[in-house]
Amino acid sequence: MKHSRLAVRWIGSDLRQRGESAVNSDDRSWFDPLVRSLGSRAIRFALMNVGDVETAQDIVQEAFARCWASPKTPSEEADFHRWLYRVIANLARDHHRQRARFRNLSIPPTAPADPIERMERRSEDQEVLAAVRTLSLRERQAIYLRYFEDQSFADTARIMGSPQVSVRVIVHRALGKLRRRLEAAGATEVVVP
């Protein structure tokens, strides 16, 4: 968590530096408190989508920068939260598309898992997190928003840009996959809603 707080401070200071020169002089005093309150949650959401701390931080920084620069960004916290998560989801999707294009290139394997990620894995149920990571990007997003962030189906649908009924189907199918994977892994007690 300490790492996330540092990242949020860094993101906020970088946005202020970029904002002074890149954005007009509209009053954005409401923005900094939102960065502070949503920064670490946004990093966790991005991490669940991309699986790499540095990439997640880059995505969140870019998402905050885009929110800052957009004149359409809502200033009310609940609306801003949905807007931010939608931007993060789109950037994560772009990241996965870009990775798919370069998948056939022979690139050395990535560095070992980040210590922060290992620590989070120890504090959470490792089997559940491993099972969640096997889901598709859309399924991970839906499960994360619905159960890790405790978002309603309506809010999850708005963030993902999908109809609510589609999100319900995605969550239902993803929960079924999680149940099967956890049972196959021999989990002693499968507690998937």
Chain segment 23-67, per-residue pLDDT in tens: 444 567 888 888 888 888 999 999 998 988 999 999 999 999 999
- pLDDT reading at 113 higher than 60: no
Residue 61 and residue 14 share a domain: yes
Q: Which of 116, 148, 175 is the last residue of a domain?
A: 116
What is the model's pLDDT at position 101?
A: 73
What is the model's pLDDT at position 191?
A: 54
Q: Is residue 20 assigned to a domain?
A: yes
SS3 (DSSP) at 186 = coil
What is the model's pLDDT at position 46?
A: 92
Residue numbers of the domain that contains 151: 124-186
Work out the number of other CB atoms within 10 angstroms of the CB of residue 43.
24
Residue 129 and residue 77 share a domain: no
H helices within the chain, ranges in order?
2-22, 31-50, 53-69, 77-101, 115-123, 126-133, 137-143, 153-160, 164-184
Q: Which of 69, 92, 116 is the last residue of a domain?
A: 116
Q: Is residue 191 assigned to a domain?
A: no
Residue 147 and residue 82 share a domain: no
- Which residue from 143, 139, 149 is spatially nearest to 43, judged by alpha carbons? 149
Compute the CA torsion angle 100, 101, 107, 110 (nearest 10 deg): -30
Q: Which of 83, 116, 149 is the last residue of a domain?
A: 116
- Which residue from 61, 57, 55, 59 is spatially nearest to 17, judged by alpha carbons? 61
Work out the number of other CB atoms within 10 angstroms of the CB of residue 165.
10
DSSP output for 106-145: --PPPPPPPHHHHHHHHHS-HHHHHHHHTS-HHHHHHHII
For the question of whether the overall pTM of this predicted structure is more than 0.85, the answer is no
Residue 134 and residue 108 share a domain: no
Q: How many domains are there within the chain? A: 2
- Could you read off the pLDDT of 120-176 as tens digits, one per residue? 555 456 777 778 888 998 999 898 888 888 889 999 999 999 999 999 999 999 999
